Amino acid sequence: MTVVNESFMSPRIQNLQPYQPGEQPKVGGLVKLNTNENPYPPSPQVIDAIAEVAAKSLKLYPDPESDQLCDTIAAYHGVPREQVFVGNGSDEVLAHAFCAFFQHDHAKLLFPDVTYNFYSVYCRLFGIEAELVPLDTNLCIDVAAFSAAAQANTPIAGIVVSNPNAPTGESLSLDTVRDLLALNPQRVVLVDEAYVDFGGQSAVSLVQQYPNLLIVQTLSKSRSLAGLRVGFAIGQPALISALNRVKNSFNSFPLGCLAQAGAVAAFDDKAYFEQTRQAVMATRERLAQGLAGLGFEVLPSKANFLFVRHPQHNAAQLASRLREARILVRHFRQERVAQYLRISIGTDQQATYLVKVLEHLLGQQDA
Ligand SMILES: Cc1ncc(COP(=O)(O)O)c(C=O)c1O
């Protein structure tokens, strides 16, 4: 039972609605397509690296700077070491970025009305005013609407986009990212690339050119390491030192030694990464076809999930019927997308099973 006694709380916390993650079931035997995890295990090299460090180094504090991991990420992305920052999952990196860059008096932070829900939560946590910029009628990011919002709210606190966007799966071109960067060169544009390895186009190549660009990525999705909690940011040194200032004022040791070693090994095993991400993308296309065959509208996705709706069936009901059939998918109550389901990409076998179960449910009258 949760006891709520707000009188002890700081005023801002009294009204804070926390982020609600998708269900992590306490029982086995469910087909879990609700939190965009990777269906494949991490590289065996990750497990070996973690086991080795566990045997050797657990009694010691980890490297507070995660130097080996930052060097590895820098080499992988072809940027200097001082342009890399790591954190305990990209959620923590995002939180530090919101704290470091977006708390400007009388200025609003712009992000899409349909996007990763944590952005709104961080705004409330840090007292940042948000301006929700509507996606267009196809649920795509609308640069003209961002431009209008930036002009109406000058000066802005910054811009955040997820690319590919969550939960829609839309991938932005580099030109679109450039357009957003140009809207206010004095403020940071954060591009959250949590899903970029599944076919999107990373804006890392723009970092040297744009001092206001911060890229955030994670090892939770394409590297099958959601449980290890490793995320990182890439940006010019001024942005990275601001993130370090926040991090070192909050927690000097955000990444344990197991996370650091496992993450390095994940980057080192390029063949495994390539094999598993290709498998996820291939299943995504198969599942998209299977769902379209059942009459679902399937938004084009470059992520490890599909955002779909059925013109004749209520999404909330479908989600709960799937739950009864032991398949978890994600349904958001937000009005604009309440008729959609977000379905994470599992294995081919899980995709076949899902389509079969949905075929059965759609054939029943009340689904
Ligand atoms: C768009 C987006 N950004 C960031 C995250 C956070 O990922 P993590 O904290 O696991 O790195 C998620 C998780 O689902 C996400 O969807």
Residue-level pLDDT at 47 = 98
Contacts of 176 (CB under 8 A, 6+ apart): 141, 143
Length of the chain in residues, anyone?
367
Separation of CA 91 and ligand 1 centre (Å): 6
Mutate-to-test residue for ligand 1 from 36, 114, 161, 221, highest number of ligand atoms within 8 A of CB: 221
Beta strands 213-218 and 231-235, pairing class: antiparallel
Pocket lining: 163 vs ligand 1, CB cutoff 6 Å = no
What's residue 25's pLDDT?
86
Ligand 1 neighbourhood includes 220 CB (under 6 angstroms): yes
Q: How far apart are CA 332 and CA 240, in angstroms?
A: 34
pTM: 0.97
217 CB under 6 A from ligand 1?
A: no
pLDDT of the residue at 1: 55
pLDDT at 21: 86
Chunk the chain into consecutive blocks of 10 residues (it has 367) and report each block's average pLDDT, rounded to whole numbers: 79 89 86 97 98 96 97 98 98 98 97 97 96 98 97 95 98 98 96 98 98 98 98 98 97 97 98 98 98 98 98 97 96 96 98 97 74
Residue nearest to atom 12 of ligand 1 (CA): 194
Cα separation of 169 and 306, whole Å?
7
Which of 33, 190, 192 best tests ligand 1's pocket when mutated (most atoms within 8 Å of CB)?
Answer: 192
* 166 touches ligand 1 (CB under 6 Å): yes
Q: How far is CA 227 from the centre of its chain?
A: 14
**Rounded CA separation 223/76 (Å):** 14
Contact 111 CB / ligand 1 (< 6 Å): no
List, as one string, the DSSP characters of 46-71.
Answer: HHHHHHHHHHHHTTSPPPTT-HHHHH
Any atom of ligand 1 within 6 Å of the Cβ of 89: yes
What is the model's pLDDT at position 2? 67
